[in-house]
Amino acid sequence: MKKVLFATTALVAFAGAASADVTLGGSARFGLQWRDNAPVGMPSTRLEKRVTLNIDMTTETDSGLELGARVRLRNNEASGITWANDAVVYLKSGGLKLSVGNVCGAIECMPGVYAGTVGLNGNGFHNVVTNSAGAAGYWGWTAYTSNPGLTDRVEIEYSAGDFSGMLTYGGSLNDPTVAANPISAHVAYTFGDWTVALGMQDGDAPAGFGDKTVLTVGGKLGDFGVGLAFADNNGDNKITLNGSYSFGATTVSAFVSDDAAVAATKNPYGIGVSYDLGGASLVAGYASDALGNKNASAGVKFKF
């Protein structure tokens, strides 16, 4: 991430601030995606493109208290305009951080949840154990969103040494029409090259946020990476085993899942490969979901 300082003292909005920075950074990708179950009238193969720009603003008081905010701009192949999302604002002191607005989400940002992701754009993210073919469905948890909309949430993070934890109150505190205000949390502990994490969500299934219990374990054995994740998604259990192997600039990864939902008829699986170009990566992946639908993607991605 490259830092751009637009102003320092001119951006300080309150007395007692010692410094202020504005930082630009983000990522981009482009390539092709194929899927065998494209909607009627849509091509099976299409262009894949995304550009994300994060605008991070931070300031620090003379006493060492850090305050900051983030707004994101995003454009992709499905949109003719560039969206600005809802902001997140935070206050941090030592290992304690309080955030409001478009927060990270305790399940979304739990270590190991996305382990095993393959392809240029995740290829459906069928490796994620909190995504289920059952009634709980996909994406039924509080998460940072790149789309515009009201996201008035509260989140507390704490870290000390090898321990970390997060507590999120989701939904929208300022919108009385939102029925679901789930509470989610996770704790994680790192020992050497391994991390174990436990997360839970108390939600409202009819409004799209069901109860979840999630456990992840992941680490490295030399050039090999290995991970195991389990989730109880409102009674539908899913487990994923993922692994990777790196040699030179190349990394090969794969996952296989078992989704116990009644609707699931297949074992989700996927395989991917990436090649580090130094500042960018060539990426390709192939995956199949719990219903046997298949998709693939390939292209280039990079950060700036």
CA distance 6 to 4: 6
For 44-81, how does the pLDDT look when each residue is reduced to its tens digit (9 = 90+)? 999 999 999 999 999 999 999 999 999 999 998 877 78
Q: Which residues pair with 214 in a beta bridge?
A: 199, 231
9-303 placed in CATH 3.30.950.10: no
Contact 165, 109 (CB under 8 A): no
**What is the percent of the chain with per-residue pLDDT over 90, rounded to a whole number?**
75
Q: Which residues pair with 196 in a beta bridge?
A: 189, 217
Q: So where are the chain's domains?
A: 9-303
Buried-state track 230-248, b at ≥16 Cβ within 10 A, e below 16:
ebbbbebbbebbbbbebee
For 227-249, how does the pLDDT look when each residue is reduced to its tens digit (9 = 90+)? 999 999 999 999 999 999 999 99
The helices-and-strands tally (H runs, E runs) of the chain is 0, 17
Contact 215, 188 (CB under 8 A): no
pLDDT at 106 over 70: yes
Query: Residue 40's pLDDT is what?
Result: 84
Buried-state track 176-208, b at ≥16 Cβ within 10 A, e below 16:
eebebbbbbbbbbeeeeeebbbbbbbebebeee
39: which DSSP letter?
A: P
CA distance 260 to 264: 7
Q: What burial class does residue 94 get, using C-beta atoms within 10 Å of its C-beta: 0-12 exposed, 13-18 middle, 19+ buried? A: exposed
Contact 191, 218 (CB under 8 A): no
Query: Residue 14's pLDDT is what?
Result: 42
For 156-175, how does the pLDDT look when each residue is reduced to its tens digit (9 = 90+)? 999 999 999 999 997 655 55
pLDDT at 4 over 50: no
Residue 114: both structure tokens together = 């996305």
Query: Residue 155's pLDDT is what?
Result: 97
